[in-house]
Amino acid sequence: MAVSRVRASFMQCLRKSSRFKPFAVESETSSIRRFFSADSSASFQSVGFIGLGNMGSRMANNLIKAGYKMVVHDINRNTMEKYSDMGVATKETPFEVAEASDVVITMLPSPSHVLEVYNGSHGLLHGGYHLRPWLLIDSSTIDPRTSRELSAIVSSRILKEKRDSWENPVMLDAPVSGGVLAADAGTLTFMVGGPEESYNAAKTLFLSMGKSSVYCGGAGNGSAAKICNNLAMAVSMLGVSEALALGQSLGISAKTLTKVLNSSSARCWSSESYNPVPGVMEKVPSASDYDGGFASKLMAKDLNLAAASASEIGLEHPLTSQAQEIYKKLCEDGYENKDFSCVFRHFYSGDNEL
């Protein structure tokens, strides 16, 4: 009896609390939250992955290691055979991947590739207004406008199988930072745009491929964050490369000047973690003739995306334009497949002591 009285008294206090709202009428938002439940991995019984290049293959491999049932597609037949030999289901078209998946992730080189995979004759949206997957995630680096247009198209479709009160599929733009090494190690950072409830549901997927994710806001904001990040990274690398080239030309070794930069206000990722001068750091592209890493042609592409986005909104972008020209010339000079830190050679090609 005493226990019953204590329990009754406790419940009465809870009911008086403004934070306790028993049997509240479920709103539309809460129904969405219920659909995108905390145990969202149950909704990912089959994960489709399209684009198994240097980044995508490593991301897909980490999902396989995490125990997800995978369905994959790539235009490279050898890559498809490799995954088939691993026991992973392969499909001939993006549409076939969609028909076999609850969620589909794409990791593709450019906006044109993304549009073809989504809108092409055998694309993800080939089935008209009805879709099997309830969540589409694009981790490609593309412009925000394309991301927003695709998101609007996806949300106008209807799920083939209604889930709770949720009738429409959802798209997230979720580009990554970290490069091939982070993709391999599963330490990528995801920048995500789209409905927040969908982002929360997809966290289990992101954390199977990366170490962190940042919610950036509505559709297209993940793509916007990525091109801004890469713009800053390019300009930073140019500044560090020019400073180190100038220092060497004035008689300061690159190793000594790097110590100065990293102990001073100029310290940054380009000087401390990804130094562009050969011989200053180990395990970075500059230590292996700029092989591997993030190709200059991809940096040039991302700078083009940043410049186009800036022009669309009428924003002046002098540093972007200058960086564009420098990376364009690098690619024309035959360095398109070398890591973007090879821009150091644009400023300095002497043989002074490092």
Domain coordinates of the chain in residue numbers? 47-218, 225-347
CA distance 166 to 156: 13
Q: What six digits make up the tokens of 122?
A: 């055998």
Predicted confidence at residue 154, as pLDDT, reads: 97
Q: Decide if 337 contacts 313 (C-beta within 8 A).
A: no
CA distance 62 to 108: 17
Q: Of the CATH numbers 1.10.600.10, 3.40.50.720, 1.10.1040.10, 3.20.20.70, which one belongs to the domain with range 225-347?
A: 1.10.1040.10
Please report how many Cα atoms fall inside a 13 Å half-sphere around the Cα of residue 167, on the Cβ side.
6
CA distance 76 to 98: 19
> Digits of tens for pLDDT over the chain (354 positions)?
443 443 344 344 334 333 333 333 333 334 344 444 444 455 688 999 999 999 999 999 999 999 999 999 999 999 999 999 999 999 999 999 999 999 999 999 999 999 999 999 999 999 788 999 999 999 999 999 999 999 999 999 999 987 666 789 999 999 999 988 899 999 999 999 999 999 999 999 999 999 999 999 999 999 999 999 999 999 999 999 999 999 999 999 999 999 999 999 999 999 999 999 999 999 999 999 999 889 999 999 999 999 999 999 999 999 999 999 999 999 999 999 999 999 998 887 654 444
CATH of segment(s) 47-218: 3.40.50.720
Which residues, in sequence order, are CB contacts of 346 under 8 Å at separation 6+?
A: 241, 326, 329, 330
Q: Decide if 199 contacts 219 (C-beta within 8 A).
A: no
Nearest to 134 by CA among 109, 160, 115: 160
Which residues, in sequence order, are CB contacts of 83 under 8 Å at separation 6+?
A: 52, 60, 70, 72, 90
Helix (H) or strand (E) holding 71: strand 70-73
**What are the DSSP calls for 153-178, one per residue?**
HHHTSEESS-BTTB-S-EEEE--EES
Residue keyed to tokens 């509505």: 218
Active site residues: 226
Residue type (1 letter), 147: S
Q: What six digits make up the tokens of 128?
A: 């008209």
